[in-house]
Every structure is written in structure tokens, then in C-alpha cells.
Structure 1
Amino acid sequence: MPRKSLVSSFLLLGLTFAAASEGAERHQGPLPTQRHKQVDALFAPWSGKGTPGCAVGISRDGALDYARGYGMSNLEYDVPITPQSVFHTGSITKQFTAFAIGLLAQEGKLSLGDDMRKYLPEMPDFGKTITLAHLMHHTNGLREQGQLLNLAGWRGDDLYTEADILWALTRQRSLNFAPGSEIVYGNAAYTLLGVIVRRVSGKSLRAFADERIFKPLGMADTHFHDDHTELVPRRASAYTPRDGGGWRISVPNIDHYGSTNLFTTIVDLLKWEQNLLDGRVGGPELIALMQTSGRLNDGTATLYGGGLHLEAHRGLRMVSHDGMDGGYRTDAILFPDQRLAIVALCNNGTIDPSGLTRKVAEVYLGEFLKNVMPPAVKVPEAELSELVGTYWSPLTDAVVQLEFKDGALRQVGVPTAFVPIGNGAFRPGESMHVWRFSKPAANAPRELSIKDAWPTTRDFIRVTEPMPTDSALAALTGKYRSDEVDMTYTVRVADGRLAIRWPRRDEVMLDAVGGDRFVCSLGTVTFTRAASGGVDGLTISHRRMRRLRAERLAVAEAPRSEAGPR
């Protein structure tokens, strides 16, 4: 595309070229062979024949600069990863679903301001309108689809279908929050957007995207995967570590898409990244929409557009998205002002591709990246120890636990140490997230606020309730019924701890944190009490699913059906 036309497109998008960006355009950096050796060094730990790894692609000004595979695509047959290996990309998928919705909006077939129930009448009326924009920007309040199916009895290796997800979502009676009041990233909204594409266009999302996106861009190795039994030439398998050493296959078993399940290669994905610059398909207005932040009801920008994170990285504008599903780990980042795109598609569940793509960016743009990390300050160990404890969020029912270990404040179960940055604030490692502790008022618990990549700050208070006695634990046992997931749960005491189980799932142990509140692999389990003081139910909460309720059953009451559709 001629430079004049490209600049015109940027102006249409309202982009401004900073002086540093202009310098980056002229700057060539290290010689190509030097750059490529530095990239190779970053991925060297996964370049052997005994490990799954990554395919990495880099483009500059629309031209392929480097593409290489590291490690093995299939450990059973000794097949190496190449630039032509096809990967399941996880949530990188979302931007393509959003783009399909945008194409339909351009044609006047729908509007982002439409109520989702216009196209999904089977969804419950929650009393507040959820628009397509709410779905696109994660401001909808819907509960997370995978957690709902987990609590309904689906196992990790079960087949998950679109019908299963619709079954779970249409049973819900409440939301995590009022639409537009917060942003919480989730998958249910994008599965629903995929359904809407089919109902509005008359074609499946796969067929629509093939015709309107992939074929026009020459993405011949890309498709929405809608049949888990379909053969895909050059598909990379995925792996996670096996206890005791070695690897285990970890491939998602799903027949739904929209939120995930895009299959592609690094070469194809770089073609898409170029389209985010020049708008060859969709035009500048749709590209602008994709890169326009959603907003909360109070006007706060969410920094999430059409399936794209719109964050700055060390002073440079960046458009990105990562993905994680089974053992697949993926990341695609674009620096629009420098016209640099970096893609890493990995089949090794231990790899952090987001960290690696940003290190590749340092190789190419190092001298233009600013050091924006807040510097560390000294805090006496005694002051750090005072912050140890369990903190609970009244809004979300989430719990975080902090400990002092190896000379640093840490979140229990997370190896990253908290770095003090002054005024009661900490950052987790090299992250820009901020955990800030307030000085407690007299006779009041200490408070904690967490500001991560999302604009909604999460507030916590330290738990001061006593730990439950053996008799208190026994009083919580029994059966609990949730019609929202059509499941009955059994709570019992096992070896001095509470445990919860339900059909087809392994029993989950609950760890007390004070009063009627417990933490486990499900998130937070809180037992609720009637006005009389007796236990009348429990709720299960996670970052993406708040307070799913189960009512306590009377001893003589027989449970109803305990399985949804399979």
C-alpha cells in the first residue's frame, strides 16, 4: 500500500505519530541476522527434540521479517514445529468474532446498541439490557461458561458444545454485576456473539469468516474449528507437564467457537495483523471500531476494544491479545505506530508467550521503549509481616491470601514476590499492577485495593472472623441444590476439613479462612444463614462467576436430576 494512503488511513483512525515513533520508522535496529540470533536465544530453552515449543513470526511494514519453529509439534511422532504448523489459538479468536459482528453492523444487519435478546430470545431477562457492545467489551456481567459447566458436572476431557453452553447460560437467574458498571473478562459473551453471527447472516461463523475474512486476506490455513473430529493437516498437538516428569497431551475437546477455537499459523496471523493496519478488509472505519475502547457507564475507558487489548507497552501504543486453552499458549502483539507485529503460538503449557513477545519487541524497538516500572523502595520486614493475612472482597466474594516467605510478601501459591513501591503500595514482580494497603483505623480491619490491567479496582478487607470449630464444620454438612446448574452438592467433613463433591467430579477440599467462608480450587465457598442463624445455603464465587447459589436441602428431601445435557 502506498505510504501516502497508509498515512491517510492512520489519520482516519485518529492516530498521532510521536517523535519517537517517527524515529522508530527510520531506525533499522540491529542487522537482521543479529536480531534473529537474539530471538533464537529467547526461545532456545524450547528448541530441542524432547520438548513442545513455539512458532514465532515477526513482520515489519507488512513484510515478513522472521518466522521459525522451536521444539516439537508432536512428541509421539517426532514432528518439529515449523512456520506452517497449525495451532489452536485460544482467545486470540475473539477479535475475529468481533470483526464478523462489525461487518454485519456495517451492512445495517445489526447494531452494537441492540439488546442481545433481540437475537437470543432464549436468554433470561435479567431486568437490565445487555447490548452487543456489552458483550464485545466484557461489560455484560454474564457468568463464565466453563465454570458453570464444571459445576454442572462436566469433566475437563468431556466434549463441550455450543448447546451445552446455551443450556447453562439460559438457566442463570442473576448476573455478576449490572451491565456497564464493571468489566470482567469472560468467554460466554463471545460464544453468544458467534451464535448471533449465524442467526443474523444465515451462515455459520466458520462459513461467514471464511468468505468475508480469511479468503480475502489469503489466510488459507485458518478456520474456526467446529468439529473436534475433523482432520487438520500440520496441526500441532498440545502438552502440559506430567507429575513425576515428562509430558501429557492437553488438547481441548470442544465443539463451540466464538470465544476460542480459531486454528491458524503464524504466517496467516501476521496477514491479519497487517489488516489491523491497512484495513484492506473491513476498511478504516471498522479497523477504528476494533481499536476503540469500550466504556463503563461512568465513562471510564476499559482499554478493551473489539476482541483486542488496547494497552501501552513501555510508552508505545500496542494492540494485542493472548490465548490459553488446554496446553496451548498464544500471543499476538502489534505496535501500530512502528508497524511491527509479533506472533508466538505455543503448544507447551509452561510457556509464557506474552512475556516472550515483549522481549522480542525489545530486540526490535529497545531504544524506544521507556522504563516505566515504579522503582523499588525499602520496607522493614516487620512492616511486611503486618500485611500477612486473608483478605475478602465484599463486592465479589473473592479471597486472596498473603504470606511472608523468603524475605518477601507473596500471595499464597504464587511464586512472584511483591515489590514495595512506596506509600503502602506494591507491584507483583515486574508487573505494572498495584496492590495498595491502607493504614487501618482504630478497631477496624486493614483494607487492600488491587488495580490490575482492568480499570475496575477490586477492594478487600482483612478477614478477622475466627476459624470454625469441629462442631461448626459439622453444622455445615449436608446437601445443597442449585437449579441454575441442575446439580446437588454434598458437603461432608473429611480428616478435619470440609469437602464438597458432586456427580462425575472429584471431591474438592475446602480450606477455612474464617467464619463461614472457605477457599478451594473452585474459588470461594461461603455458607449463608437465615435470619434465625441457621445455615440455609452456600454460594460459590470466582473472578468470573459471582455467588452462584445452592439452597440447603432438608434431610428428607430427595434431590432431583443431577445432570444436564451431554
Structure 2
Amino acid sequence: MKKKSTRPFRLAAVASLLVCASAMAVPTLPLDSPAIDQVFKAFTAETPGCALGLYQEGKLLYAKGYGLADLNHQVPIRPDTVFDIGSTSKQFTALAVLMLQAEGKLSLQDEVSKHLPELKGLKPAITLEQMLHHTAGLRDYNELLMLAGHFGEDVTTADDALQRLAAQRGLNFTPGARFSYSNSGYFLAALIVERVSGQSLDAFLQARVFQPLGMKATHVRSDHNQVVAHRASAYSPTEHGFAIDMSNWDQVGDGAVQTTVQDLALWDGELARPRVVDAKLLQAMQQPGRLNDGQATQYGLGLGVDNYRGLPRIQHSGAWGGYRAMFMRFPAQQLGLALTCNAGQANPLALSQQVVDIVLADQLAKPAELKRPAVADAAPAGFEPQRFEGVFFDAENSQLLKIKRGGDGQLKLQRGGSGGVLMALSAQAVQTKTGITTLTLSDDAQSLSVQRRDEAAPRPFKRLPAYQPQAADLAALVGHYRSAELDTQWQIRLQGQELQMKARNGQSSLTLQGRDLIEGENAVLTLRRDAKGALQGFVYDSDRSRGIVFERR
């Protein structure tokens, strides 16, 4: 970390405050600046940070910057600082599609290949509506480009992404069968807007949304070389301080909107009291999608639809490179919030909810109380933590989770690249510390039922037998593997006794969890063999990209 600055404008670098007089006339919003400041105390005159905006019916009640927009030049974050808002952009793409449907130029029921013939080979057919509701089953193009070997700092174009999607010969699931967040649908939706309207997504939105609303600093950035006035650089923490974390990918639709918390006040006002956009379109964006079986999701068209501590809420977060963002509205309270950050370590959802806890303290239900962690003198009767330890596999979704005891004796869950402490509920059940996920052990301890609050049904995970690979098992995997769909080659190699995967853009560790099951970083590789048992390759499965075949060379 740098030494503390002694420059005379250090206090100005901490924050730039703007409070409209209208805030004084709204007694229902008891804004407590010191309390809100405490939420953002980690962002200082030496770090990147965030800008916060609070709105009521489009009126900017409170706007403040915390931290620096540019570490090189010690430029403070202000309410007019421009940020990339990542996936928070999706609501504008969805609106553009709805506008074209209202004009009769397309329909949400259209098959995507009607407008993008490059995707005719992708079966079964998917609709625009399924894409926008994240129920199409499309593999995520961001992950596909990364799997193909691209770095974030590489220059990639819309054509690069479209070619990768057109080369895919499978979906993650039957369209409409489930919800799975995918950037591909919104990237493709932007291409469709451009082909149907004859305008770029930016030109379309400028003419119909941004300029009419007076959002002068807002635009869709499709050229990584474009100079953007007052734009914050993005950073992520490293062991040596902060490093620039920005991308040169030029796709739009799923992200790429550049804006400020001041401009987002105008958008919040439009959602509260439409004057430019047809109110029916805005209402449609806030209606949850439905699966083939009629089950409602918690996602509309470019906006999440849920509730927070008893209050209905619409929201969408964003993350791209080191940028983080959140847009949130509580319609009944007519409270809007926007948070834009250039700090990769920032958690926009958690930060936003802490602000809401302050502003709407007298209207929120009490948080659900969680059980205390299982300890020797407080464990439920019959609770034996060692019965939960092991590796469990969900074959249908190709997901692994591991449970083990840490040095402090507490059970800990690892799933993909994340994990945390588990808290005992009973002899057979544990819960994540957040309370979002409950894991119930079968009587014979050979399976787990994993239930998330936001999922209708639990997922079954079967215990994998203990497996200790021999040196010959590891050596047999060494070689080169190619994916035709990604047009890329990976190498599995041994570094001492560690199995590693090497691709153009880096390497990662692999763990053999069974004869034909390899655990990677946020993915599972299932080995494929011929009738005689000879290794032919593997299938790559992750949350957002499933069924990608690699053949052994």
C-alpha cells in the first residue's frame, strides 16, 4: 500500500457530496450520512471506491463518492464520475427489444435464427423471450472466449463472440426447462436490435431513451479505444496493492453501458413516472419469466424481481473487469439506489443492502435469525460433524461439492471457487452462514439434499467413494485435447505429483476425484472412454457452459 497522502486535497478525495434540497422534504427517508459513510469506510483517499446515489421518483436525494477514480492522478470519485456498469446494462437492451416489438418489427416469440441465421445450426430452436429471461440454455459467450484462450486484455469483437456461439453444437439444457444466467442471450439481443433497426445499440438508445431523458453522460461503449470523459479506471487488489483491471472486449448488450449515479436518477424517475417510454413496456420488464412447467423465476426482462426483508424489489447487479455496479428500486417506497464502483473487491449487493438497512430501517422486516455454529457445547442432539465430511456429486448438473472440518473443528463447504462455514440445524441438517442454502444428509450418509431458498426443488448430491489416484492414473491423463467448438487445444500435464491443465491464457490445478471424474476450477471434467476403456477425451461442464467436448489428440 502507498503511504498516506499529505496533499491538501486529501479530504476532497474521500468524497464529493451532493444533497438536493428535496431530500429535506421527504421525512420518510431519514438519511444518516455518518451511518452511510461507515458502510463505505474501506474506500479511502488511497484506494479505488464507489459512487452512491439515492432517489425518490427520480429526484436525486443523496449522492456521494468514496475513494479514487484514478489512482495514478489521485482523482476523487464524484457523483458525475462515469463507470462501466456491466450486467446492470441488460435492462436497456431488453427495453430496446420491447420497443421494436411494439412497432411490429419483431416478436419475443421469434426464433433467434430468424434474425441471426448464423445460429440455424443450434438446436433445439430458442426464442427471443427465452434469451431475455435466461431460460434459453445458451452457453455463456464470455466463458467460451476465455476457454478458447482469450485474456481480458485481448481485443475481441462482436464477430469473435458470434462465431464462437455459432460453432456450438449443443445447449446447456432444453430451452425453457430451467433458469441459468447467461450473457449470450443479451449479446445476441443487441445484434438483433442492430440488424432490425439498422442502428447500433448505442444510437438506438440515445435517440429513444438516453437523450430524451437527459442522460447526457450515458452511452453504450463498443470501442475499447474510445475516450470517455470523467471515466473511472477499474482496479483489483493484488498482494502488492492495486492493479488495473479493465477489458478490451467490444461486445455490447450484456454490458458496456457507461453512466453515472446522477444520470441513473433520471432512469429511476422514468421507472417511477414514465414520460418518455411506454409504461406498458416498463411494466413488462418487471414481470417474472416462467419456465415450461409454469414455475415463475425471479427475473423479468433485464431486471431481477424479488423482495428484501419483506419489501418488493427490482434490482440488477453488474461486474466486468474491476467494475462493480448495482441498480435497485423499492417501488412501494419509491426509493431508488444506484451504486457504481471501480474496485474489484467491492460487493455491490451487500453494500447496497447495508445502505437500504439504514434508509428504510423502520419499514424492513427483521432479518431471519440463523442457528449458531455447531460447537462442542452447543451442537444439536445426535449431530456428528464427521458424518458430513466427504465429496458429493450432482450427476445431472455435473457439480461437485466438498465438506470438511477446518482446524477450528467447524464444518466448511467448498463449491466451485467459493465456500464457507456450515452451521448445524439438527443431527441431519446444516446450513450455510448466510442461511441461503440448507444441506440435509440421508440416513445412510450416502447422499445430500441441497436446497437453496431461490430454487423450487432440492438438488440431490451422491457421496463419491474415497479415491486415491495412483501415479499411473495421473500419467495416463497426460496429453493434448482439442475442442472443435472452441477451436482450441488444452494440455494436461504433470508437475511433480500435481495434475495441471494448460491453455493459452494460463494454467490451473486439477484433482482426480474418481477414475473418470476430474475437479477443475469452477468446472468438472468427465472422462470419455471407448468400449475397451481407452481414453478418448473429456466433457467440460460448468454452471454456465455445459457439454463441451474435448477429444484427445
Report if TM-score (shorter chain) is over 0.5: yes
Report deviation, 1:37: 2.2
Report deviation, 1:513: 2.0
Partner of 1:479: 480
Report the TM-score when normalising by structure 1. Answer: 0.88
Report deviation, 1:500: 2.1
Q: Distance in 1 between matches of 2:190 and 2:29?
A: 43
Q: Distance in 1 between matches of 2:451 and 2:405?
A: 18
Q: Distance in 2 between matches of 1:281 and 1:462?
A: 56
Of the three residues 72, 85, 88, the one matched with 1:89 is 85
Contact 2:482 2:489 in 1 (8 A): yes
* Count, aligned residues: 520
CA deviations 1:106-137 (Å, max 9, x no partner) are 11111111111110111143432200011000
Contact 1:95 1:308 in 2 (8 A): yes
The answer to whether structure 1 residue 36 and structure 2 residue 30 are counterparts is: no
Partner of 1:550: 550
Partner of 2:512: 512
Q: In structure 2, the residue corresponding to 1:139 is in which secondary structure?
A: coil
Of the three residues 406, 417, 420, the one matched with 1:416 is 420
Moved more, 376-385 or 350-359: 376-385
Q: Distance in 2 between matches of 1:313 and 1:319?
A: 10
Q: Distance in 2 between matches of 1:460 and 1:201?
A: 47
Partner of 1:448: 449
The answer to whether structure 1 residue 189 and structure 2 residue 185 are counterparts is: yes
For 1:271, the aligned partner's letter is: L
Q: Distance in 2 between matches of 1:200 and 1:185?
A: 25
Q: Distance in 2 between matches of 1:242 and 1:540?
A: 29
Give runs of aligned pairs for residues 230-269 of structure 1, distance below 5 A. Answer: 230-243=226-239, 245-269=240-264
Contact 2:187 2:254 in 1 (8 A): yes
Q: In structure 2, the residue corresponding to 1:164 is in which secondary structure?
A: helix
Report deviation, 1:27: 8.3
CA deviations 1:498-532 (Å, max 9, x no partner) are 22223x22232212222221222252122122222
Q: In structure 2, the residue corresponding to 1:112 is in which secondary structure?
A: coil
Moved over 6 A (4+): none
The answer to whether structure 1 residue 388 and structure 2 residue 389 are counterparts is: yes
Partner of 2:434: 430
Moved more, 59-68 or 420-429: 420-429
Q: Distance in 2 between matches of 1:424 and 1:144?
A: 36
1:103/1:165 Cα in 2 relative to 1: closer, same or farther (>3 Å)? same
Give runs of aligned pairs for residues 322-361 of structure 1, distance below 5 A. Answer: 322-361=317-356
Moved more, 519-528 or 171-180: 519-528
Q: In structure 2, the residue corresponding to 1:513 is in which secondary structure?
A: strand
Q: Which runs of 5+ in 1 are unaligned?
A: 1-25, 554-566
1:30/1:235 Cα in 2 relative to 1: closer, same or farther (>3 Å)? closer
Q: Distance in 2 between matches of 1:424 and 1:263?
A: 49
Partner of 1:116: 112
1:106/1:379 Cα in 2 relative to 1: closer, same or farther (>3 Å)? farther
Give runs of aligned pairs for residues 359-378 of structure 1, distance below 5 A. Answer: 359-376=354-371
Q: In structure 2, the residue corresponding to 1:544 is in which secondary structure?
A: coil
Q: Distance in 1 between matches of 2:367 and 2:442?
A: 27
Q: Indicate the percent of aligned positions where both proteins have the same amino acid.
A: 36
1:152/1:51 Cα in 2 relative to 1: closer, same or farther (>3 Å)? same
Q: Distance in 2 between matches of 1:27 and 1:277?
A: 16
Q: Distance in 2 between matches of 1:269 and 1:457?
A: 38
Report deviation, 1:541: 1.4
For 2:40, the aligned partner's letter is: F
Report deviation, 1:156: 2.6
1:330/1:465 Cα in 2 relative to 1: closer, same or farther (>3 Å)? same
Q: Distance in 2 between matches of 1:383 and 1:510?
A: 30
Q: In structure 2, the residue corresponding to 1:416 is in which secondary structure?
A: strand
Contact 2:189 2:253 in 1 (8 A): yes
Q: Distance in 2 between matches of 1:162 and 1:61?
A: 36
Contact 2:67 2:77 in 1 (8 A): yes
Give runs of aligned pairs for residues 183-222 of structure 1, distance below 5 A. Answer: 183-222=179-218
CA deviations 1:327-369 (Å, max 9, x no partner) are 1111111000100011110111111121111111111111211
Report deviation, 1:449: 1.8
Contact 2:324 2:346 in 1 (8 A): yes
1:422/1:199 Cα in 2 relative to 1: closer, same or farther (>3 Å)? farther
1:207/1:423 Cα in 2 relative to 1: closer, same or farther (>3 Å)? farther
Report deviation, 1:465: 5.3
Q: Distance in 2 between matches of 1:37 and 1:523?
A: 43
Q: In structure 2, the residue corresponding to 1:267 is in which secondary structure?
A: helix
